[in-house]
Amino acid sequence: MSSYIQDHPAEFGGSYLDEQTHTLHVLTVGGATSLKAQKSLSDLAIRSTATTARSESAGPEWTLSTQAARYSMATLQETRDRVSEAFAREAGNNLTIWYADPRTDTVHIGLNKVKPRLVKLASEDFGDRVTVAQEEQHKTMDKRTKVDGPVSYSHRTPELRDTGVTKSGTAASTPTRLLDSVPYAGGDRIVSTQTIDGVQYIVECTVNFDFVTSSGSPAMGTAGHCGPTGLSWRQGYYDESAQTIHYTGTMGSAYTRIWGNGKSDAELLNDTGNPDGFWPQVYTTSTALENVGSVSPVSVGQKICADGSFTLQSCYGMVTATNVCENVNDDGTIVKVCNLDVAEGVGGTLVQSGDSGGPVYTSGTPHHPLGIISAGTADGLTLDFADMGSVDISLNAYPESSS
């Protein structure tokens, strides 16, 4: 349903889900009220698969509700793109977020400080097609630890996941997402040493899914802001108190990346230094793995699970915006990032530093990939994630299904 609506932006004003009433609200404009369009909508199954992305177990019936919209998605997307130009230059870093909101039939403009001059400018340029509100700037969710002295390394190798054969080295007691078996799975923590602006840091992030690439080469995903291409990542974690990196081996080297300049936030690691490759499952606890399904589109109102290696699985998320552009704070540098989706934590936190690159997926099993953890608010209640549909196209790769 959401894919059909997205493919007809001139006829629809968007759509959003209401989980409490199991209603899919579709905003119609112009040609969408035609009998042909109405029939196309009614022919599409409205089930819980709209939110659980084709879950194996059938859920309750969903009700379709159509409403008239003033503006089409095409009009609002054009307005959003115009916000990225002259208004963005005028607002500078005070502009935090902007996106088309189907619930208000406007483009939402978030400002760190709502200044009368900018409100007046938005009204003059866009009229009632925009809504201006205060919204704090979000920050990237990698974990950077500054180090002044030498760092020790402790190599620990658990059993092979598929054969049970123990390799040489000091064995980790039980494979976890901190010290994992090979082949490595989604949700693992990764660690690297990086020199940033002349300062040495230990950087920790999370990987998301085993990817299928156009070349057939194995790859594992993480966030683009975690580090540059050519950087090698270990699977493991940093013990700050002992200034020691505990690791099981090399996860891989970053070889392709999208980050900023109006693009999304994703990166793929190859298997350089990792002869055992990657595993098409994701960690959902410290030790438990679950299967991965096919990629699913993201809808406003949808429930989601975020799964960083610090927060672990958190299924408190509710999508509040899709196809978002933001000026994200990357450790003091403001970066324009687009093709993000936003979720709010309803009853719990979603993200913290170190979760960057982790998987975002549907609840239920198998978990259908939705995106990659990118940024969020300091309190962890708001999550920004790179939309997997956009990532697939940009990287010419997609998460491998477990089945």
What are the b/e assignments for 19-55, b being 16+ CB within 10 Å? eeebbbbbbbbeebeeeebeebbeebebbbbbbbbeb
CA dihedral 147, 153, 158, 163 (to 10 degrees): 110
Q: Domain of residue 394: give its range.
A: 287-399
Secondary element (H or E) of residue 121: helix 116-126
Q: By C-alpha distance, which of 143, 53, 197, 146 is closest to 357?
A: 143
| SS percent in the chain: helix, strand, coil, step 5 | 20, 45, 40
Identify the CATH number of the domain in which residue 104 sits: 3.30.300
The predicted structure's pLDDT at residue 174 = 81
Q: Which of 51, 68, 85 is the last residue of a domain?
A: 68
Q: Are 398 and 212 in contact (CB under 8 A)?
A: yes
The predicted structure's pLDDT at residue 160 = 67
> Same structural domain for residues 153 and 114?
no
Residue carrying structure tokens 């042909």: 36
Q: By C-alpha distance, which of 9, 18, 114 is closest to 320?
A: 18
Pairwise CA distance, residues 371 & 145, whole Å: 26
Residue type at position 316: Y
> Same structural domain for residues 173 and 100?
no
> Same structural domain for residues 222 and 332?
no
Q: By C-alpha distance, which of 349, 347, 343 is closest to 380?
A: 349
Bridge partners (DSSP) listed for residue 319: 343
> Same structural domain for residues 147 and 172?
yes
pTM of the model: 0.92
β-pairing, 397-399 vs 210-213, is antiparallel
The predicted structure's pLDDT at residue 7 = 85
> Same structural domain for residues 275 and 359?
no
The predicted structure's pLDDT at residue 110 = 98
Q: Which of 134, 152, 178 is the last residue of a domain?
A: 134
> Same structural domain for residues 152 and 272?
yes
Q: Helices 116-126 and 73-82: crossing angle, nearest 10°?
A: 130
Pairwise CA distance, residues 166 & 170, whole Å: 10
Secondary structure of residue 402 in the 3-state scheme: coil
Q: Which of 68, 89, 118 is the last residue of a domain?
A: 68
Identify the CATH number of the domain in which residue 296 sits: 2.40.10.10
Pairwise CA distance, residues 334 & 153, whole Å: 33
> Same structural domain for residues 275 and 299?
no
Q: Are 327 and 334 in contact (CB under 8 A)?
A: yes
Question: How many distinct structural domains can be found in the chain?
Answer: 4
> Same structural domain for residues 95 and 153?
no
> Same structural domain for residues 237 and 321?
no
> Same structural domain for residues 124 and 147?
no
- For 347-387, how does the pLDDT look when each residue is reduced to its tens digit (9 = 90+)? 899 999 999 999 999 988 899 999 999 999 999 999 999 99
> Same structural domain for residues 109 and 55?
no
> Same structural domain for residues 209 and 180?
yes
Low-confidence ranges of the chain (pLDDT < 50): 32, 34-35, 45-57, 163-172
Alpha carbon distances (Å) from 191 to 215, 251, 286? 27, 9, 17
The dihedral sign for the CA sequence 25, 30, 35, 36: negative
The dihedral sign for the CA sequence 51, 2, 321, 140: positive
**What secondary structure, in 3-state letters, does 229-260 show?**
CCCEEEEEEEEHHHCEEEEEEEEEEEEEEEEC
